[in-house]
Amino acid sequence: MKESLTFDFCEISIYDNYLIVEMSEGVTVTPEKNEFLVDLVNKYYANEPFVYITHRVNSYAVDPQVYLQTSKIENLKGFAVVSKDYKAKVNAEIEKMFLKKPFEIFSNLDEAITWSKKLTTSVKT
């Protein structure tokens, strides 16, 4: 891990080609919060390919407009949702319709990390 960051609405772990975000319980991810995350991504991944992994250990909501903004991040190569919760997976299936990037849903973090490495490795070769 390169760095671990804690904010009032989430915790973020930064790695070479992916980041893992755990949102806080009860948060609503709005375009404003997403703009903060976009700025963070620009700082850590400037022109490097990366995958955004959201580890849904808490219950929270996402404004679908967030994905319209997120789709514009050129070096974002994929978006992964990790959860064992059925409701979170169903919500992720709906969210998937709004993102114009590869979007996968996993039951465990290791699978998401493996997928992210395949996406970012294939970009470099």
- The DSSP result for the chain, as a single string, is --EEEE-SSEEEEE-SSEEEEEEPTT-EE-HHHHHHHHHHHHHHHTTS-EEEEEE--S--EE-THHHHHHTT-TTEEEEEEE-S-HHHHHHHHHHHTT-SS-EEEESSHHHHHHHHHHHHHHHH-
What confidence score (pLDDT) does residue 1 get? 73
The CATH class that applies to domain 3-113 reads alpha beta
Domains of the chain, by residue range, sit at 3-113
pLDDT digits (tens, 9 = 90+) for 69-104: 899 999 999 999 999 999 999 999 999 999 999 999
Which residues on adjacent β-strands are paired with residue 6?
Answer: 11
pLDDT digits (tens, 9 = 90+) for 43-72: 999 989 999 999 999 999 999 889 988 999
- Tell me the whole-structure pTM to 2 decimals: 0.93
Mean pLDDT over residues 2-17, rounded? 94
Q: Give 79: exposed, middle or buried? Use CB within 10 Å, 0-12, 13-18, 19+.
A: buried
Tell me the C-alpha distance between 41 and 18, whole Å. Answer: 10
Gap between the terminal Cα atoms of the chain: 23
